[in-house]
Structure 1
Amino acid sequence: MNIKPLRKAVFPVGGLGTRFLPATKAMPKEMLPVVDRPLIQYAVDEAIEAGIEQMIFVTGRGKSAIEDHFDVAYELEATMASRGKSLEILEPTRLKPGAIAYVRQQEPMGLGHAVWCARDIVGNEPFAVLLADDFMVGQPGCLKQMVDAYNRVGGNLICAQEVPDSQTDKYGVITPGARDGTLTEVRGLVEKPKPGSAPSNLAVIGRYILQPEVMRVLETQEAGAGGEIQLTDAMAKMIGGQPFHGVTFQGTRYDCGDKAGYAQANLALALTRDDIGPAVRAFARELLG
């Protein structure tokens, strides 16, 4: 089996973030911090750990803060240096020249459309897709776990997680086939099935490794659930023509597109920090009595 190396990752960051208004009126939701790093930084760090060489951001209006975050901040760095402060904390925000590309999604037409906007930069290579508001905490990271599986089986892979039956209508859901450890054969996919009609409780979470042929499917993909061009619908058409597997993530996922999930992520990560963990833990105990 000829498995092409995975070098590129697409970050769809053009959404409006309406669930976090008014905080996201002037700030992209991907820049919301978990303790002291924005969500998009965690996703980029995860991609780098997995060996990704080029980050492709699919942006929209009002997303310039993301571009600024991964740029050189001359005034800030000069001021810090003049005061004898280390610039080490800013190193993860400075990627190699040419390691980032930006493309605009002019209209919010769905995740599938956002991915398709990156087609010319992706070219004829496999690529990853990372949704920053699915905040994945594990060792190794989620995408690294998926890349390790990809290097064994090739084809298309999606991150999978069991969810309560009452929540399957919020996700893309897998029709499962044979299982081998954390790998599950994907025999079908359905986006946001009606309650009681889901083929399993194995949901698709915001990490994907896809072959470039999906771009040709997306080119003619009609709108699906919610009146948007759904990536799940396009992936479903790839099943049977190429290997397709789900990888159950070994770690913890926080849904930072949800206010409660975002608050939980901040608390959970704060508690693991040596610098602030003891103080946060003491406060939590006092608050909860």
Structure 2
Amino acid sequence: MPTKTIRKAVIPAAGLGTRFLPATKAVPKELLPIVDTPTIQYIVAEAVAAGVRDVILVCARGKESIVDHFDLAGELEAHLERTGKLELKQQMRDIARMAHIVTVRQQEPLGLGHAVLCAKDVVGDEPFVVMLGDDVIDAPIPGAKQLADCFGRHGLGTIALMEVPREDTHLYGIAAGSAVDDRTIRIDALVEKPRKDPPSNLAVIGRYVLPPSIFEILERVRPGVGGEIQLTDALAILAREEGLLGYRFQGERYDAGDRFGYLKANIMYALKRPELAGPLRAFLSGIK
């Protein structure tokens, strides 16, 4: 397969966000802020930093406000201009210009694999990156770019891996294989949430650079647990038929889909802000 530049990102955003109820009863979980920036904006910014031009949001009914966030807001911008908040107005305009946003509808909650398959016609015949909004990666080199660079070197689908404690392997998809270099393995085993005897302690994290052939594989994957089409099942087939790499990315990952992980992300991103870091450290040091 010829190596191509990654120009498209697929971001599944159709989930109900039940772990964050009641906050997500009316507000999409993707718009919950980390400090003052919606979680999904961090994901889109990472995609753009990896060279992505088109961002495909796979949404469900009731998620229109996500699209609105990346659109122009004339009334708001006019108000900011009238009140002299020109820098803030420019920030709002920049959000609308981050990327070319395309939406497709996932009409039924049939799993992550099905969500990716919904983007088939928009992606077309080129490699692309799948980015899960619950995984926020803080890294000097954006996580998606690290994977895209690995794909560029080897020309094979590449998924993000992270070492986790052995006792936590049942919480993740786990990959194992033979070493290609210090950070890369060629995957020969992929197990979703192993209950015992995990093949390694390398957990699959929500970043995947995939060839377009994954769509044909997803079309023949049978529904698994809960009647859902599992992306992991398709990746296991891809590993057997074409080859699949796992890349141990550099950076800190926060699980923004978990309440404690979300709190950690808010604290760590606030500490990166000069105007917040001092007061926050003082507040935290005074907690008993």
Retained in 2: the 8 A contact 1:186–1:239?
Answer: yes
Spell out, residue by residue over 1:223-251, the C-alpha distance to the aligned partner (whole angstroms, 9 max, x if none).
Answer: 22344211010011011332411111111
The alignment of Structure 1 onto Structure 2 pairs a total of residues equal to 286
**What residue number does 1:79 align with?**
79
Spell out, residue by residue over 1:207-235, the C-alpha distance to the aligned partner (whole angstroms, 9 max, x if none).
Answer: 00000111011112112234421101001
TM-score if structure 1 supplies the norm length? 0.95
Q: Residues of 1 paired with 2:42 and 2:98: CA distance? A: 17
Equivalent position amino acid for 2:155 in 1: G
Q: How does 1:106-255 map to 2 (within 5 A)?
A: 106-194=107-195, 196-255=196-255
Equivalent position amino acid for 2:118 in 1: C
Retained in 2: the 8 A contact 1:165–1:201?
Answer: yes
Residue of structure 2 aligned with 1:95, choices 92, 97, 100: 97
Equivalent position amino acid for 1:37 in 2: T
Retained in 2: the 8 A contact 1:154–1:243?
Answer: no
- Over 3 Å counting, the alpha-carbon distance change for 1:116 and 1:251 in structure 2 is same
Q: Residues of 1 paired with 2:22 and 2:55: CA distance? A: 28
Retained in 2: the 8 A contact 1:191–1:225?
Answer: no
Retained in 2: the 8 A contact 1:45–1:92?
Answer: no
Q: Residues of 2 paired with 1:169 and 1:74: CA distance? A: 48
Q: Secondary structure at the match of 2:160?
A: strand
Equivalent position amino acid for 2:29 in 1: K
Q: Secondary structure at the match of 1:176?
A: strand
Q: Secondary structure at the match of 1:237?
A: helix
**What residue number does 2:106 align with?**
105
Retained in 2: the 8 A contact 1:127–1:211?
Answer: yes
Q: Residues of 1 paired with 2:270 and 2:152: CA distance? A: 34
Please state if 1:14 is matched with 2:14.
Answer: yes
Spell out, residue by residue over 1:3-40, the C-alpha distance to the aligned partner (whole angstroms, 9 max, x if none).
Answer: 02211000000001000000000111111100010110
**What residue number does 1:264 align with?**
264
**What residue number does 2:40 align with?**
40
Bigger share in helix: 2
Q: Residues of 2 paired with 1:193 and 1:24: CA distance? A: 30
**What residue number does 2:26 align with?**
26
Retained in 1: the 8 A contact 2:54–2:101?
Answer: yes
CA apart distance, 1:188:
2.1
Ranges in structure 1 where 5+ consecutive residues have no aligned partner: none
Retained in 2: the 8 A contact 1:173–1:203?
Answer: yes
- Over 3 Å counting, the alpha-carbon distance change for 1:264 and 1:117 in structure 2 is same
Judge which range, 230-239 or 214-223, deviates more: 214-223
Q: Residues of 1 paired with 2:98 and 2:139: CA distance? A: 25
CA apart distance, 1:179:
3.9
Retained in 2: the 8 A contact 1:10–1:129?
Answer: yes
Q: Secondary structure at the match of 1:61?
A: coil
Spell out, residue by residue over 1:121-176, the C-alpha distance to the aligned partner (whole angstroms, 9 max, x if none).
Answer: 01111110001110110001101111111111111000000112222122111022
**What residue number does 1:60 align with?**
60
**What residue number does 2:286 align with?**
286
Spell out, residue by residue over 1:31-53, the C-alpha distance to the aligned partner (whole angstroms, 9 max, x if none).
Answer: 11000101100000000000001
Ranges in structure 2 where 5+ consecutive residues have no aligned partner: none
TM-score if structure 2 supplies the norm length? 0.96
Q: Once superposed, what is the RMSD of the aligned Cα atoms?
A: 1.4
Retained in 1: the 8 A contact 2:72–2:93?
Answer: no
Retained in 1: the 8 A contact 2:45–2:98?
Answer: no
Moved over 4 A (4+): none
Q: Secondary structure at the match of 1:157?
A: strand
Identity %: 49
CA apart distance, 1:64:
1.0
Equivalent position amino acid for 1:106 in 2: Q
